[in-house]
Chain A
Amino acid sequence: MDEKITITINGKPYRVDLDQTIMEAADSCGYHIPRLCYHPKLSIEGACRVCIVEVEGMKNYIASCAYPLFEGMKIHTNTKELRQARRDIVELLLDNHPEDCHVCERDGNCELQRLAYAMGIRHRHFAGERKHYHKDLSSTSVIRDPDKCILCGRCVRMCSEIQGVNALGQANRGFNTVIMPAYDMPFAESVCTACGQCINVCPTASFVEKNHTQELFSKLNDNSLVKVAQIAPSVRAAIGEGFNLPPGKNMEGQTVAALRKLGFNYVFDTQFSADLTILEEASEFLERVQEKGKLPMITSCSSAWMKYMEQFYPDLIENISTCKSPMSMGSAIIKTHFADQIKVDPKNIVSVAIMCCTAKKYEAQRPELMVNGMQATDIVVVTRELVWMIKSAGIDFLNITPEEFDSPMGMSSGAGTIFGVTGGVMEAALRTAYELYTGETLVDIELNSIRGFDGIKVGSITMDGKEIRVAVANGLGNAHNLLEIVRKEPDRYHFIEIMGCPGGCIGGGGQPYAAANSIPLDTECLKARAEALYSNDRKKTIRRSHDNPEIQRLYKEFLGRPLSKKSHELLHTHYKPHEPKGIASRKIRAI
């Protein structure tokens, strides 16, 4: 493992660890070999051949991502012939790719575009046959455009190895290869959970979110409507990246101000609704504990997880909390109590959710979440769409004066803030559950055992002498691994949090694309986004959901108490098994 060897790269000697690929060693020595199909969190595919290098004594150029080192290896990364060969490879990829960069969703954010530039490609030399397929527009959340696909396979590996969903595969062969769901079925009918991680890892615009910005712009221009926005915690922790800020800048006040400038009449905080969720969820948990209800109880905030569970784990439906997600709870209150307060017919309210998540577009359309026959959340736009809208409307986001959320759904506790990070919902729920159960104040409210980015985290808390064992999984592949344990040992945990995306919502499928010098779902980037939320929690004087005065007022004026009849009517939901039945991959990689 620790064995060191000497290699030379471009004539210079280096001492490096033996147990690496050429690419990893070159990275550690400061040479960034161009690459496309490689991603450090995914298995090695070696498909694109962009990362070829020359090794003295070897007949052919070799793919550096897939080749191990040996003592005395002499590697060249930048010879004239190699540069030419690499450029030819990228030119051949471009040959079967539309020439429509200036009208493409990923213009300026495209890895292929950057690569072509870096290779020095200034002409299109090859003009061969080009593939033509229909776009798959069936999904509520993710659009698949095979014409833009360069067959790097990152989406397929993400979907199987990290998410364990296996909605995608490579079908046909050679020139006719297409990445598609089984049986070439529409995405909407496949096992796709709408998580959007294929979008995050796609180097081109072969996968993009279903765009709702034009629809939203037209609603914002309609003066007969009351426009109400809510913002998910993770949006504020990542939106700055869309304006070239480093990850981890909390842009809450700027986002609120920008939304008002875009034309929203009210800007609310999904963190408020997260506090509301905690009141309901912690109460539901305690009810299950006290009345010997079904345990472990599993959280239900993540929309991709919701769909995954219905297709892959229908046997666990009784374990799932009946609480709606914060977005849907917020929207339900907006379309009922808030509409009454401002004396507006809820039909004339447009409830818009700004989310880090493509699956929320799916969730918004779930018929189970209708309120009084109306869709509670009318439009969902993801962080990337909001970034574009702000730029398109000419709003100077970075220099804008920060503003506060509106009352009565703008105040939130630190517990509501950390919803955006894996483990956050559990931590928030335990902060409240402990006090509701014991009647005492929980002193040490930062639960470090369930923080961090391990795929599965476990912890426990003692309430009045009763040990409550909890587990947290982020990413659906990790969820699968955890749930296999639960199926075998149903008594092992009492309470489980599952988030569909790596890192939780901060790593959602709707977050800004990776910066030019970074990679999708870079751990450092996720850490910085998480820290933006944790530091916000630390700064708040109110850190427990039940201490939020706006929440207390909502219960006093409208809901009565958690799990009341009204709460059940508006804030809780149900699930049912869905076809096609999913089969989890056995190739899931631990992250």
Chain B
Amino acid sequence: MEVVEKDKKQIRQAHCEQELKEFIDSVKDMEHGDSYLIAVLHKAQGLYGYLSREVMDTIAQQMQIPTAHIWGVATFYHYFNLTPPGKYVVSVCLGTACYVKGAPQILDAVRNELKIDLGGVTEDRLFSLQLARCLGACGIAPVVMIGDKIHGEMTPQKVVDVINQYRKADSAHSTGLASSPRATKK
């Protein structure tokens, strides 16, 4: 079973490498090819979830852009993550509807519960925290997205409960007592 998981990971890794390379090849010889660096970094973050040193080194070699420059761009823009995200990415929506329905209090509650700030990752690497600007679920505002699931009509207490459900599901999963956390979390 574990071997299959490992193989899958390798296949996914190779697929990401290939897709990033194809993207770089499609832009690097264009006029002002260097200026596609930000687009390439976006692509890489989309594929890997964050920008690791290895990925930035690869981009540097493939685009022939010095790493000190790539590092400058990657650290300048807040959008880029330089550390791996948690297993579950918690996005607190601060769009207008959510905002007026109390999203700032939801954000505070999540911060306090996870003891991390925006862009941070919990010590157990289970959660990372980011902002969202409208997730298109204004009807059930305020909303929080965890992984790819939307949780609506949140209150500071309810959001803590939801987080605890993920924790519970995850520990059950890792001790082999339950099925995947995504399946149990409804």
- The residues of A with any CB-CB pair to B shorter than 8 Å are 160, 166-173, 180-184, 190-191, 580-586
Contacts and interface: CB of A to CB of B under 8 A. Distances in A.
A171 B66 contact: no
26 contacts: A166-B66, A166-B68, A166-B69, A169-B68, A170-B72, A171-B71, A171-B72, A171-B76, A172-B75, A180-B68, A180-B71, A182-B68, A182-B70, A182-B71, A183-B53, A183-B71, A184-B71, A191-B66, A191-B67, A580-B57, A582-B66, A583-B60, A583-B65, A584-B66, A585-B66, A586-B64
A191 B68 CA distance: 9
Contacts of B67: 166, 182-183, 191, 580, 583
B81 to A, nearest CB: 14
Contacts of B153: none
Contacts of B75: 171-173
Given A190-B68, A580-B67, 18 more contacts: A160-B69, A169-B71, A169-B72, A171-B71, A171-B72, A172-B75, A173-B75, A180-B68, A180-B71, A181-B68, A182-B66, A182-B67, A182-B68, A182-B70, A182-B71, A581-B61, A583-B61, A583-B65
Interface string B112-129: 000000000000000000
Contacts of A585: 66
B19 interface: no
A173 B76 contact: yes
Nearest to B66: A166
Nearest to A170: B72
A149 to B, nearest CB: 15
Interface of A is mostly: loop
Contact of B34 (A180, A182, A183, A586): A586
Interface in B27-72: 34, 53, 56-57, 60-61, 64-72
A166 B75 CA distance: 17
Contacts of A171: 71-72, 75-76
Contacts of A180: 68, 71
B168 to A, nearest CB: 37
- 4 tightest Cβ-Cβ pairs between the two chains A and B: A166-B66, A169-B68, A182-B67, A169-B72
B145 to A, nearest CB: 27
B66 A160 contact: yes
Q: Which of A180, A184, A583 has the most CB of B within 10 A?
A: A583
Nearest to A156: B68
Contacts of A170: 72
Interface of B: 34, 53, 56-57, 60-61, 64-72, 75-76
B84 to A, nearest CB: 15
Nearest to A582: B66
Given A583-B60, A586-B34, A172 B65 contact: no
Contacts of B57: 580
B100 to A, nearest CB: 30
A206 to B, nearest CB: 16
B172 to A, nearest CB: 38
Contacts of B60: 583
Nearest to A583: B66
Nearest to B74: A171
A191 B70 CA distance: 14
B4 to A, nearest CB: 34
A316 B132 CA distance: 51
A397 B142 CA distance: 77
Contact of B64 (A190, A191, A583): A583
Nearest to B65: A583
Question: Residue among B53, B56, B72, B76 with the most chain A CB within 10 A?
Answer: B72
A516 B132 CA distance: 54
Contacts of A191: 66-68
Contacts of B71: 169, 171, 180, 182-184
A581 B60 CA distance: 10
Nearest to B53: A183
A170 B60 CA distance: 16
A228 B69 CA distance: 43
A180 B53 CA distance: 15
B28 to A, nearest CB: 12
A107 to B, nearest CB: 30
A183 B69 CA distance: 10
Nearest to A159: B68
Contacts of B53: 183
Contacts of B65: 583
Nearest to A585: B66
Contacts of A184: 71
A117 B75 CA distance: 35
B59 to A, nearest CB: 11
Contacts of B66: 160, 166, 169, 182, 191, 582-585
A583 B64 CA distance: 6
Contacts of B61: 581, 583
B71 to A, nearest CB: 4
Nearest to A190: B68
Contacts of A172: 75-76
A174 B185 CA distance: 41
A194 to B, nearest CB: 16
B58 to A, nearest CB: 12
Candidate in A182, A580, A584, A586 with the most chain B CB atoms within 10 angstroms: A182
B146 to A, nearest CB: 29
Contacts of A580: 57, 67
B76 to A, nearest CB: 5
A190 B71 CA distance: 13
A191 B67 CA distance: 10
A160 B69 CA distance: 10
A169 B64 contact: no
Nearest to B68: A169
A419 B11 CA distance: 56
A173 B79 CA distance: 13
B178 to A, nearest CB: 39
Contacts of A586: 34, 64
A171 to B, nearest CB: 4
A168 B76 contact: no
A117 B72 CA distance: 33
Given A183-B53, A583-B60, A586-B64, A169 B69 contact: yes
